[in-house]
Structure 1
Amino acid sequence: MCGIAGTASTLTPDPGLVRRMCDVIVHRGPDGAGYHHDEHAALGMRRLAIIDVATGDQPVRNEDGTVIAVFNGEIYNYAELRDELVARGHRLRGRGDSETLVHLYEEHGDDLVHRLRGMFAFAIWDRTRQRLLLARDRVGKKPLYWRADGSSVHFASELKSLAQDPRMSREIDLVALHHYLTYQYVPAPWSIYEGVQKIPPGHLLVWERGRVAVRRYWQPDRTPGGPVDEREAEERVRELLLESTRIRMVAERPVGAFLSGGIDSSAVVAAMAMQSSERVKTFSIGFEDSRYDERSKARMVAEHYGTDHHEMVVSGDMLDILPRLAWHYDEPFADSSAIPSFYVAQLSRRHVTVALNGDGGDECFGGYQRYALMNQAGRIPMLPRGLAAVSARVGELVTRRSHGRSLPRRLGRLMQFAAEHPSRRYATLMSCFKPEQKIDLYSDRLRERLAETDSRLLLEEVFRRSTARTDLGRILDVDLLTYLPGDLLVKVDIATMANSLEARSPFLDHHLLEWAARLPDRLHVRGGHTKALLKRAVAPWLPPELLAFPKQGFGVPLATWLRGELRDLAHDVLTDDTARGRGLFRPGAVRDLLRRHADGSDHSARLWALMQFELWHRAHAEPSGLVGAEAGCSRTGV
């Protein structure tokens, strides 16, 4: 596990720049650094040593030094790959996973990605062909940014590395901002900066003598897999989860697990405990507000398996961490559960270097309540076009005038749902700011610039491209390819790497993902019940009372904080001269959101999105922001 950065160019690259790019992400790899420099490429990495601690330094090279690689992640099937490569005559110097990449490239070229089981972002430099290959794992566990400037391509694990180059533009990509305000994250391939992109999950980038090409190499296949015996399916879930957990426990450094009290993390802890000769170390975060505190459920599992359990309570007086989070996240990021994620990573790092988690369980097995809602909404017939337009307008009016009352709000949404295609229904459901709310918020300049851009089309395109034959299957694809990598995996990667901790996700093993993707809908959502198959499969592993609890999620008391501990901060950063001077949002609209939230309506998600954009801008996009924030992080020990 580490952070990587580098440049390939038709000219001679600057090795000093690559060193600076690596220095700024030392938190991703505090155990060492490595570099390669030749006439057309400079590669670098920071290492967090987990496997092959003694001999696993990077960059790695083939026998004659013509193929060089830097790598971030873990390849869990590396032992089998090494045996195959040795049998084919390759000589490997170390005992770890990274060295397999250069030899697999020699054997399979770009198709080496299909041989890898794990999480990864890597760069392979082919000196003979003057060709750079960049790749990101199937679901996007590990990040990879890039930009090209004609003669060169630059890449890095974090945006702040690319920003070490003074030639990089700091202009905000207004389309990316528009998408961010819809989804609360900047979706791939956009980044918040003009001219910088993310390699999407399951994609490759090839740079060869100045030319760039990006292509997809993986997406889930949701064509039905034929009749399924439910008892056999339950047994197969247990087998796959035990195996994917076992291979993720391999490490030369201490291993533990995040334990939220939900089904997914509890199942992972159970799978660890059944396969470990030592007590599993578990870590939980709680809140003073009991509505968001799941520690009692986590304790049930910890006591059931006798884990070495550790807890921390996040309170309002711990929110001074926000500027530090803005520096680490590199882009505006408005998932408020980044706060407890950071603290559980910080707590875990005091005891372990690797932490397993339950990420992906909901996307694999249909765990979100919105899946049941959309399944039920699928029974609502599409109205004729003229009637649909009337229903949409009336529904929007009813929703606006519901003043928080449940019945009229639900009636209004039902009328809007009836007017929309299922893909639009889901895109609307997943939106933070709706289009009409953006129109109210934007300045005249921004409104004119973005008038023809509909962020909801991003999700609708994934919905349309899915191989699933049902709307539920298509929605699962949408989340697996957008929300999971754009929000959840970014949140955990940054929170853990900021604390020099490696996160591993058994549910995101592609063998398990691909098997689950072909299951019939009834094994995911049954009536109003979600995650039907997984709950039955892991029921023998868990305390019975745990399965009776409704899904709670990893939420925070954000609405309360924005009326209390964070009220002054929200007002200050959203209404001061600096924020108004950007000319992006109408000051009156921002003040109105603050007022309505203070008066009791819940606008916490929208206010949080605006706050995180403003905090990000002050940490990164302003001339002194990067240096100041970086210095602040060094003072706090990261």
Structure 2
Amino acid sequence: MCGIAGLVTEGEHVDPATLERMCDAVHHRGPDGAGMHLDGPVALGMRRLAINDLVTGDQPFHSEDGTVTVVGNGEIYNQADLRRQLAGRGHRFVSGSDIEVIVHLWEEYGSRCVDHLRGMFAFALWDARERVLFLARDRVGKKPLLYAHHGGALTFASEMRAMFLDGRIPREVDPLALDAFLACGYVPHHLCAFRHVKKLPPGHSLTWRPGERPRIERYWHLEYGPKEQLGPEEAADEVRRRLLEATKIRLMSDVPIGAFLSGGVDSSAVVAAMAMSTSDVVRTFSASFPGTTVDESVYARAVAQRYGTEHHELEIGPVDASIMPRLAWHFGEPFADPAALPSFQLAELVRRHVKVALNGDGGDETFAGYRRYHQLAMTRPADGLPHPLRAAVAAGLARAAGGTEG
């Protein structure tokens, strides 16, 4: 995890101290190094968490002629293939960093460079010859990227607190975002807690030339191909193959990688895939809740023993109220997930042992693991009924299914 920040103005030179303050605001995302590119009205900066190429991987990266500059946060999993292709076209690399490939992809493909990237990323690129700023975010939005077009400049950053440090953006709460938070418990991706700041949506890019309006483009769509005619065993084999491949490419690192292990199917499958993909001992981290119905630590210990992991367990008791301001500081927006409290405490343990940790988030959404998905399937035949009848049917089926959440 790194942090990026910067701004490009329509002509006014950027004060280096402004960029430095913005980068300092995301220091916790990247304590291993810092880099800045300042050229009159152009200011790009970053804070680095060193994961790959610990020696020569400092950013920003530049093209051979110095006209293209990039700062980025994330990992490009297919960087080895991209390097071979780009080297074959005459491009020269100065590091082993995955982010460096973006500079040369831009030289080859322009804004379509994102079509060639497989990974989790958010980056900002400045092309001095074309006088264009280009921002992009990975397909599903694993890495955050905020921006604001205000006061004759386009400002961007990984986190909200950095956005306000250039002094151009008013701090005004967006009432629509507040309404959405009260309804959903979080601020959806198409809204932002502050009126003049926006989130670049997942799978989108932003192109801006000074003096013009930003152009937002969706570069990736989730597409469903024809349904494959697979039997249960064939389907299970294909899921296993894809899980192993997805896990293996995420283990390419110059630093140790661990895993959050809850004892559920999702994180247990990830730990199993890690153990099958590396000869190194896997480090696992679990939270226990003694005396409660949500304690699954016994299952986590069983998985850790099965795969011979170096297992660490944190007992979670009453939460110290002093943690709340720190959580709010990190989120930058209202967020009402109670799981954030133990997750944050466990993350503090994890960071003492590894820089990177995989988890099983997303498994329930992909494989309909939550009870509510089954309830939706059960109530679908009632969609054509008048609303009062529909509500009564849904309530009855929910009771029959045994609750509202799994």
Which interval holds the TM-score relative to the shorter structure?
over 0.9
Tell me whether 1:148 sits opposite 2:129 in the alignment: no
TM-score where L is the length of structure 2 = 0.94
Rounded to whole Å, the distance in 1 between the matches of 2:61 and 2:239 is 37
- 1:224 Cα offset (Å): 3.4
Tell me whether 1:31 sits opposite 2:32 in the alignment: yes
CA contact (8 A) 1:202 1:216 kept: yes
Tell me whether 1:255 sits opposite 2:257 in the alignment: yes
- 1:326 Cα offset (Å): 0.7
Indicate the residue corresponding to 2:4 in structure 1. Answer: 4
SS in 2 for 1:70: strand
Rounded to whole Å, the distance in 2 between the matches of 1:82 and 1:227 is 36
Give the 5 Å matches for 1:259-270.
259-270=261-272
1:67-111 CA-partner distances (Å, limit 9, x unpaired): 000000011111111111111100110011011000001111111
Indicate the residue corresponding to 1:371 in structure 2. Answer: 373
The residue identity in structure 1 corresponding to 2:314 is M
The residue identity in structure 2 corresponding to 1:7 is L
CA contact (8 A) 1:4 1:70 kept: yes
Rounded to whole Å, the distance in 2 between the matches of 1:380 and 1:108 is 50
Q: Provide closer, same or farther for how the CA distance between residues 186 and 335 of structure 1 changes in structure 2, counting only shifts above 3 A.
A: same
Give the 5 Å matches for 1:466-545.
none
Alpha-carbon RMSD: 2.1
Indicate the residue corresponding to 2:327 in structure 1. Answer: 325
The residue identity in structure 2 corresponding to 1:294 is E
Indicate the residue corresponding to 2:79 in structure 1. Answer: 78
Match of 1:279 among 275, 278, 281: 281
Indicate the residue corresponding to 2:167 in structure 1. Answer: 166
Higher radius of gyration, 1 or 2? 1
1:241-293 CA-partner distances (Å, limit 9, x unpaired): 11111111111111110001111110000011112212211000122342121
Runs (5+) with no aligned partner, structure 2 = none
1:563-609 CA-partner distances (Å, limit 9, x unpaired): xxxxxxxxxxxxxxxxxxxxxxxxxxxxxxxxxxxxxxxxxxxxxxx
Match of 1:243 among 242, 245, 254: 245
Bigger fraction of residues in strand: 2
1:33-53 CA-partner distances (Å, limit 9, x unpaired): 000011231000000000000
CA contact (8 A) 1:245 1:272 kept: yes
Give the 5 Å matches for 1:107-126.
107-126=108-127
Indicate the residue corresponding to 1:13 in structure 2. Answer: 14
Rounded to whole Å, the distance in 2 between the matches of 1:199 and 1:390 is 39
Indicate the residue corresponding to 2:235 in structure 1. Answer: 233
Indicate the residue corresponding to 1:22 in structure 2. Answer: 23
- 1:236 Cα offset (Å): 1.2
Q: Provide closer, same or farther for how the CA distance between residues 53 and 412 of structure 1 changes in structure 2, counting only shifts above 3 A.
A: same
Rounded to whole Å, the distance in 1 between the matches of 2:15 and 2:227 is 52
The residue identity in structure 1 corresponding to 2:95 is G
SS in 1 for 2:215: strand
Give the 5 Å matches for 1:171-570.
171-210=172-211, 211-383=213-385, 388-391=386-389, 411=392, 413-414=394-395
Indicate the residue corresponding to 1:128 in structure 2. Answer: 129
- 1:152 Cα offset (Å): 1.1
- Greater RCO (Cα-Cα under 8 Å, separation 6 or more): 1
CA contact (8 A) 1:40 1:130 kept: no
- 1:317 Cα offset (Å): 4.2
TM-score where L is the length of structure 1 = 0.61
The residue identity in structure 2 corresponding to 1:352 is V
CA contact (8 A) 1:283 1:348 kept: yes
The residue identity in structure 1 corresponding to 2:67 is T
- 1:389 Cα offset (Å): 4.9
The residue identity in structure 1 corresponding to 2:9 is S
Rounded to whole Å, the distance in 1 between the matches of 2:22 and 2:378 is 50
Indicate the residue corresponding to 2:66 in structure 1. Answer: 65
CA contact (8 A) 2:372 2:405 kept: no
Indicate the residue corresponding to 1:436 in structure 2. Answer: none
CA contact (8 A) 1:133 1:205 kept: yes
- 1:113 Cα offset (Å): 1.0
Rounded to whole Å, the distance in 1 between the matches of 2:342 and 2:44 is 34
1:351-372 CA-partner distances (Å, limit 9, x unpaired): 1111111122122222221111
Rounded to whole Å, the distance in 2 between the matches of 1:359 and 1:208 is 38
1:110-153 CA-partner distances (Å, limit 9, x unpaired): 11111111100000101111101101101110000000115210
- 1:391 Cα offset (Å): 4.0
SS in 2 for 1:358: coil
Deviates more, 1:373-382 or 1:21-30: 373-382
Runs (5+) with no aligned partner, structure 1 = 396-410, 418-527, 529-550, 554-638
Rounded to whole Å, the distance in 1 between the matches of 2:231 and 2:393 is 40
Identity %: 51
Indicate the residue corresponding to 1:504 in structure 2. Answer: none
Total equivalences in the alignment: 402
1:5-62 CA-partner distances (Å, limit 9, x unpaired): 0101212233321110110111000001000011231000000000000000000000
- 1:226 Cα offset (Å): 4.1
